Amino acid sequence: MRLLVVDGNSIVNRAFYGIRPLTNREGQFTHAIYGFLTMLRKIEKEENPDAVAVAFDLKAPTFRHKAYDGYKATRKGMPPELASQMPPLRELLGLLGYTIVTCEGYEADDILGTFAAACENSGNECVIATGDRDSLQLVSDKTHVHLCTNRDDILYTPGKIREDYGVTPAELIEIKGRASVPRGLAI
C-alpha cells in the first residue's frame, strides 16, 4: 500500500501566501482553500497513492510547549484571513472523502512521523507532502518526502538527500538536532 500523508498546515500556508487574495460573493476569503485543493490534486496525480490522510495542528499547546516555554514563542499567529478558511477547508476535505487527522498535544509533524513509522513497520510506502524541510529527516527506503517549494516540487528519497545535502537521512537528523537545541539546554 502507498499512503500519502499531507502536512495540512504547511500546504495551506503555502497556498495562502502563494495566491493573491480571492473571495466569494459574501466576501469570505477562499484563496487558501482553492490553492490547497489545487496542490492536493496535483500531488495526488503525481504520487498515485492508495489512500490519503491530511494532518492538521490544533490550537491546544503541545508537549513541546509544556516542556519549553520559548517553543515557537516568536512565531506570529495565524492571520484571521487564513483562520477563517480553515473550518470550510476541513469540512470540504471531509465531504470529499479525505481522512483528517489531528491529535491534541501533538503537531501535524508528529502525526506525519507516526504514519511514516507505521508504514515502515508494516512494509508499506509513505509519501509525506509538505513544504517543511524538517520532514526530510523521515526519509528512508519506504518513506519519501514530496517537498512543495516556491518553484517546483521535489521528491526526496535517500539518494536525493545525499545528492542535495551530501549526507544520509540519519546524518541529517544529527545536523538538524544540533542546530535546534536551545542555548543552555544540555544534549
| Residue 186: predicted pLDDT | 45
Binned at pLDDT 50, 70 and 90, residue 171 comes out as confident
Does position 116 have pLDDT exceeding 50, yes or no?
Answer: yes
State the pLDDT confidence band at 78, using cuts at 50, 70 and 90: confident
Mean pLDDT, range 7-29, rounded to an integer = 96
Decide if pLDDT at 108 tops 50.
Answer: yes
Q: Are residues 47 and 104 in contact, defined by beta-carbon separation less than 8 angstroms?
A: no
Element at 170 (helix H, strand E) = helix 169-179
Question: What's the predicted TM-score (pTM) here?
Answer: 0.87
Mark 145-184 as b/e (b = at least 16 C-beta within 10 Å): bbbbeeeeeeebeeebbeeeeeeebeebeeeeeeeeeeee
H-helix segments, 1-148:
8-18, 31-47, 63-67, 80-83, 86-95, 108-122
